[in-house]
């Protein structure tokens, strides 16, 4: 069991979406401090302000995880000014929803650098301290797209396939050390955070509510669960791909379940107007009653 109480949490992509919710729920579960790492400066300010107003200790760093120089500089600053990280949630990610031939070289680089290489570099920066301490929990927000192919998601799928393989391999390495070092790999289908706005839900695979999958992730951290797959149909993907011939699997996934056409109507996230209020999620854990001094953000 990973104790969440009094732990320091770092969430990349933590200003919005799943990263934002997981960070909040971990604070509600008793985490001592949350560090938000995101490229969205305004989102960092908004999320930090709301969480501080709720009595939590929050700092943020505005940096691009797809750029190694930013990762090295920001990680160094966090280790110096905040200290070691107990729970690392890797939620930063992007999607380019178009056919591969329409991708620019910049689209390809940005997808792989953000979704895969950035995750690896951020982890590499904090992992030695976890190993030296003998404890730590890494949460990789991958995707069901890391388990099967799909049209109009080629670069995204490539990055998530790599991410699933890397995360599971890292878990094996850390388990070999025999310490309190844990890795949880999360492979959800589409989530209604706005990132996949406009997609069609495949048959028997409803679009997930972000609050529900965030609860599952926090629960998985607490219980040291290896895999989080949602919704339930995602559990069958490895089995079906393993036993069905490729053409038959394509027929089942594409024609029957409609997976391969799910991105046809994709539009992607559109930022809400500035006057629009951020919808507050339902409370998952009872907030801490102890009032805490708000921590000012570090200079960027």
- Which one from 25, 61, 156, 260 is the annotated catalytic residue? 156
Which one, of 231, 219, 156, 295, lies nearest residue 2 by Cα? Answer: 219
Structure tokens at 47: 């999320």
CA distance 17 to 98: 22
Strand order in 87-90's β-sheet?
58-62, 33-38, 8-12, 87-90, 135-141, 180-188, 227-230
Known catalytic membership, residue 156: yes
CB-count burial class (<10 Å; 0-12, 13-18, 19+) for 7: buried
Judge whether 35 and 82 are in contact, CB under 8 Å: yes
Longest dimension (CA), the chain: 60
Instruction: Let me know the angle formed at the C-alpha of 65 by 48 and 55, rounded to the nearest 5 degrees.
Output: 15
The catalytic residue positions are 156
């Amino acid at each position: 069991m990973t104790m969440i109480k009094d732990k320091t949490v770092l969430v990349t992509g933590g200003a919005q979406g799943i990263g934002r919710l997981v960070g909040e729920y971990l604070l509600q579960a008793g985490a001592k401090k949350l560090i938000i790492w995101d490229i969205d400066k305004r989102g960092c300010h908004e999320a930090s302000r709301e969480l501080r107003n709720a009595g939590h200790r929050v700092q943020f760093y505005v940096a691009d995880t797809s750029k190694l120089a930013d990762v090295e500089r920001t990680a160094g600053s966090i280790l110096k000014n905040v200290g070691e990280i107990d729970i690392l949630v890797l939620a930063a990610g992007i999607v380019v929803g178009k056919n591969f031939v329409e991708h620019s070289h910049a689209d390809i680089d940005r997808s792989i650098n953000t979704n895969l290489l950035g995750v690896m570099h951020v982890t590499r920066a904090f992992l030695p301290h976890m190993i030296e301490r003998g404890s730590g929990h890494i949460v990789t927000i991958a995707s069901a797209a890391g388990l099967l192919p799909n049209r109009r998601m080629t670069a995204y799928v490539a990055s998530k396939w790599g991410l699933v393989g890397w995360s599971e391999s890292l878990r094996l390495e850390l388990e070999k050390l025999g310490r309190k070092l844990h890795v949880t790999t999360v492979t959800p289908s589409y989530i209604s955070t706005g990132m996949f706005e406009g997609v069609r839900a495949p048959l028997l695979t409803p679009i997930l509510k972000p609050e529900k999958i965030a609860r599952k992730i926090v629960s998985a951290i607490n219980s040291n669960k290896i895999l989080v797959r949602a919704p339930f149909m995602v559990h069958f993907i490895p089995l079906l791909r393993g036993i069905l011939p490729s053409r038959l699997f394509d027929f089942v996934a594409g024609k029957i379940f409609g997976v391969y056409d799910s991105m046809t109507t994709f539009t992607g996230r559109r930022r809400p107007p500035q006057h629009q209020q951020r919808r507050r999620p339902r409370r998952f854990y009872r907030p801490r009653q102890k009032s805490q001094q708000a921590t000012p953000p570090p200079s960027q």
